Amino acid sequence: MKRKLNNEEMAAFCSQMALILRSGISAFEGISMMMEDQEKTAAGTMLKEIYSEMEQGGNLYQGIVKTGLFPAYTCQMVRLGEVSGRLDQVMGELADYYGQEEMLGQTVRRAVAYPLFMLLMMLGVLFVLMVKVMPVFQSVYRSLGTDMEGPAGAVLAAGEAMGNYSLLFAVLFGAVLLLFLWMFGTDRGKNLSLSWFQRGKGGLNRQISRYRLASGLAMCLRSGLDPERSMELMEGLTRDEQTSRQIGLCMEKIRQGVFFEEAVIEAGLFEKTHNRMIRVGQRTGSLDRVMEQIGQQCREQASDQIWHRISMIEPTVVIILAVLVGVILLSVMLPLMSIMSEIG
């Protein structure tokens, strides 16, 4: 099964094509130029496949469909650009869209990576404390003619068990580290971490879905599609089940004869403030610009929510670590101080 192009690769391809087309070079010649520059790479193989299709009389749309590497949404937009004679504009819009998607993905991945990294650090500190530090205190207790008991004894026993099976814990730690690297170093892992982070029914998930919907609609409208056809293409852009249902409801109302802006409002796709903007945009013929503004607002709100979550994670992890270390040390020091006072 072929791997789909990721957002970074999509942005690079669309950006290069937009630049070539705006320079007055045909899509066929542009693919040939790009193929020469990337002859011995994986991208070069893809470009050869597109070039071969176009050489036999096909167009860019048929070429990218044949590769099986491009999202259906992108293929439809390229087809629209070729039919309307605005392929350079469409490719530029796609480059901007996938560039923003990559930026959002990086923000989300950092938000997922940070708590995992902090958790690994916390476990590492606790491991050293239990395996290396607690035996030192045990030696002090034995020099005073007693042993650790109660909570301190339980922590010491756990540390000794961890020390006896240190190889197993090292393997587990290595496995977690490899999983961490896989999740943030491979395309499949990045997509998994992104979908995991977006799973749920929180406000963040809704804002990301609204951003994708509004940005996609703005791009379609600027490319010459009517609002109804633009909404049809949006069904595959969101991973949020609620948004998908609302898009379906919106399409159903449009088929029943409801005006586009009223169908969007009745389906509950956007917030009330956005609904007023959509009404104004529809009446003034500037719906594409309104959708772009809504998309930017939703992306900024999603980014703010992500960084707000990150800002709460650090002190939470630090507090948990401080409490655990404090409890362990108190369980050791209080009995030790009692013994020392009795000796004194």
Q: What is the mean pLDDT of the chain?
A: 81
pTM: 0.66
Which CATH number applies to 100-344? 1.20.81.30
Q: Where are the domains of the chain?
A: 7-70, 100-344
Q: Which of 9-23, 33-47, 241-255 has the lowest mean pLDDT?
A: 33-47
| Angle at alpha carbon of residue 12, lines to 7 and 15, rounded to 5° | 120
Alpha-carbon distances of 205 from 39, 96, 115, 201, 302, rounded to whole Å: 40, 21, 18, 6, 8
Count the Cβ atoms, other than its own, within 10 Å of residue 281: 20
- The whole-angstrom separation of Cα 333 and Cα 330 is 5
- The whole-angstrom separation of Cα 206 and Cα 341 is 61
Which pLDDT does position 225 carry in this prediction? 79
| pLDDT tens per residue, range 228-285 | 888 887 776 666 778 888 888 998 998 898 888 899 999 999 988 899 999 999 889 8
